[in-house]
Amino acid sequence: MQKPLDGILVVALEQAVAAPLATSRLADAGARVIKLERHEGDFARGYDDYANGYSSYFVWLNRGKESCRVDLRDPEDLAMVRKMLAQADVFVQNLGPGATDRLGIGAEALRKDFPRLITCDICGFAPDTPDANRKAYDLMIQAEAGLSEITGSEASGPSRIGISICDITTGMTAHAHILEALYAREKTGQGAAISVSLFDVAVEAMSVPYIAARNGGPIAKRVGLQHPSIAPYGAYEAQDGRLLIAVQSDREWVNFADKVLGRPELGADPRPRGRRGARRQARHRLEKPHHLVGAQHD
């Protein structure tokens, strides 16, 4: 059966999680993905050995790819990679800051040589920021973006989200941008230079607590399994253990009170609506253009 990206060639100079996740999704959609690895291999091969002796991360993120071992300090290997790129549709890389530029295969040089090529650089911090030359890892980004500050409970203190959430969401973001660029190329015939940073993706995920705090709402706190602005939404103690409840809207609350609790009068109680009404007013204020501009530029 034909897949959406059949005929697309992706060259990936990648390691760890973010870039391999993006290219694994392209491979799933039918693209031919050639993964370039240093002689010792992608270091994610050594994260664990839980998948029948292989790394669970590596098996998850590199299925369906071809692997090519290269030494980019060797002129012959570098020339071979350039021949690959001359035929490629997409080049994805997440080496350290400036590494591909020093090798002569940075986005700017490649876009001049191969105008139809789509390049995607995945980095820790955006190129035009003071931190552009810093390396970045998932845990560090969770802390710097504020994710760890609102994760966990007050008793536990700041906590790491239990998966490599910044790496994973950055890979998903890169995948989406690459698909957009492939679609745009169908109309223009031109490739694109894409740059995606872990920090920017993590900050995007923090938009709700940031906007709330900048517009008079509470500073986000660690609330464990509860929700900072919706109730009942979380874990509650019952006679025979803890019960997880997620009620998203007034209508769901009415149904929950009637059909689950057997207390239909609770659904008609006006007291819970007070805070929801205040939140509706806050949302109305945010819809005004001058408030949005202030939130973006303060």
Task: Tell me the HSE value of 297 on the side-chain side, using a 13 A CA sphere.
Answer: 6
φ, ψ dihedrals at 238, nearest 5°: -125, 175
| Cα–Cα distance, 23 to 10 (Å, whole number) | 8
CB-CB neighbours of 119 under 10 Å = 27
| Cα–Cα distance, 21 to 168 (Å, whole number) | 7
Q: Which token pair is 145?
A: 């973006």
Q: Which of 39, 177, 227, 297 is catalytic?
A: 227
| Cα–Cα distance, 226 to 219 (Å, whole number) | 15
Place of tokens 């464990």: 224
| Cα–Cα distance, 226 to 53 (Å, whole number) | 39
With residue 33 as reference, give the H or E element that holds it.
strand 32-37
Place of tokens 């091969």: 45
| Cα–Cα distance, 79 to 66 (Å, whole number) | 19
Which residues touch 276 (CB under 8 Å, ≥6 apart)? 250
| Cα–Cα distance, 59 to 53 (Å, whole number) | 10
Q: Does the active-site annotation cover 227?
A: yes
The reply to whether omega before 232 is within 30° of 0 (cis) is: yes
Residue 147 identity = L
Degrees to nearest 5, angle at CA 68 with 64 and 70: 150
Catalytic residue numbers read 227
